[in-house]
Amino acid sequence: MLELRKAAERGVADHGWLQSRHTFSFANYYDPKHVGFSDLLVINDDRVAAGQGFGRHSHRDMEIFSYVLEGALEHKDSLGTGSVIRPGDVQLMSAGTGVSHSEFNASQSEPVHFLQIWIMPAQQGVAPRYQQERFAEADKRGRLRLILSPDGAEDSLQVGQDARVYAGLFDGGEQASLALEGQRHAYVHLARGRLSVNGQRMEAGDGLKVRNAERLELTEGEQAEVLVFDLRPHELPR
C-alpha cells in the first residue's frame, strides 16, 4: 500500500532567517495524522539564511542526521567535534545520554539547504557519538547507496536502530530496486526533482509511506535526489 504526502501539505515554519517544512509533527506544528512513521520521527526541510543558524542546544536519546543539499553547514558540539558539512556529506549524531551542539550556515553570502532527520534509537542512555562520511555523486548515480545501517555495512554510518537509509540520484533511464524483506515498512522522501516509485509519481518535497510491498521500484527520474528508509513494520515511533 502506498500513501502519498504532498510537499504542500507539510507543516510550515517561517522564522525569517529559517524557512522550514515539517514532514511530521514538530515544535509548534502538530498533525495527529503525521506524528512519525515506524522509527522515523522527524524530517525537517530547512533553508537557513547566510550567517544564521541554530545556537547551542541539547538533545538526548535520539539518532539525528543531517543531509546537505546546497551550501555548507557548520557543526560544533560538546564532544569536541567541529566540522563543515557540504553536499555529499552525511553527518550522524547519536545523542545518547546527552549532547549539546550548534549548527550555522558556514557562508556569509549564500543560504544553506539541508534535511535534518531524527530516528528513534533502539536503546536509551548509550554513550553519545558523532560520525561523518562523504558519499560521492558517482556512488549514488542510478542506484541506491546505503548511507546508514545498524551494522555500518558498506562503509555506511552506524545508526542505533534497526533501520537502513539509502540515497540515490536518478535521471532519464536510470532506475533501481530495493527488496523489502520480512514485511518491512519503507518511507521515501524526494529531496528534489521528480521520480516514480512503484508507479506513484512524486515531486520535490513529497513523501511516500510504503506498507506491505515486497520491493520498491524507482524509475522515470528527472534530476531526482531521493532518500529511502527501510524500517521496522510498525506504525509510530515508540
Q: Which tens digits make up the pLDDT trace of 148-175?
A: 999 999 999 999 999 999 999 999 999 9
Task: Tell me what pLDDT residue 174 has.
Answer: 98
Count how many domains the chain has: 1
Q: Percent of the chain having pLDDT more than 70? A: 100
What number is the average pLDDT over the span 66-75?
A: 94
Cα separation of 72 and 221, whole Å? 26
For residues 230, 231, 232 and 237, what is the CA-based torsion angle, rounded to 10 degrees? Answer: 180
Residues 211-234: what's their mean pLDDT? 97
What average pLDDT does this structure show over 136-149? Answer: 97
**What's the rounded mean pLDDT across residues 112-133?**
95
Domain membership of residue 169 (yes or no) is yes
> Whole-angstrom Cα distance, residue 179 to residue 185?
11
Q: What is the mean pLDDT of residues 115-132?
A: 95
In 3D space, the residue among 30, 20, 43, 27 whose CA is nearest the CA of residue 189 turns out to be: 43
pTM for the model stands at 0.96
Of the candidates 162, 169, 114, 161, the one whose C-alpha atom is nearest the C-alpha of residue 145 is 169
Task: Confirm whether 237 is domain-assigned.
Answer: no
pLDDT at res. 99: 85
- Over residues 44-61, mean pLDDT: 90
Does the residue 208 lie in any domain? yes
Domain of 191? 2-231
With cut-offs at 50, 70 and 90, classify the pLDDT of residue 83. Answer: confident
56 is a domain residue: yes
Q: How far apart, in whole angstroms, are the C-alpha atoms of residue 186 and residue 233? A: 8
Does an H or E element contain 147, and which? strand 144-149
Whether residue 75 has pLDDT greater than 80: yes
| Residue 136 domain-assigned (yes or no) | yes
What pLDDT score was predicted for residue 53?
81
Distance CA(206)–CA(51), nearest Å, equals 28
The per-residue pLDDT for 214 is 95
Residue 115, SS3 per DSSP: strand
What is the rounded average pLDDT of the residues 120-131? 94
Residue 125 has pLDDT above 90, yes or no: yes
> Under DSSP, is residue 176 helix (H, G, I), strand (E, B) or coil?
strand
Residue written as grid cell 515486497: 214
- Name residues whose C-beta falls within 8 Å of residue 181's C-beta, 6 or more positions apart in sequence: none
CATH of the domain at 121: 2.60.120.10
Rounded Cα–Cα distance for residues 109 and 150 (Å): 38
Average pLDDT taken over every residue of the chain: 95
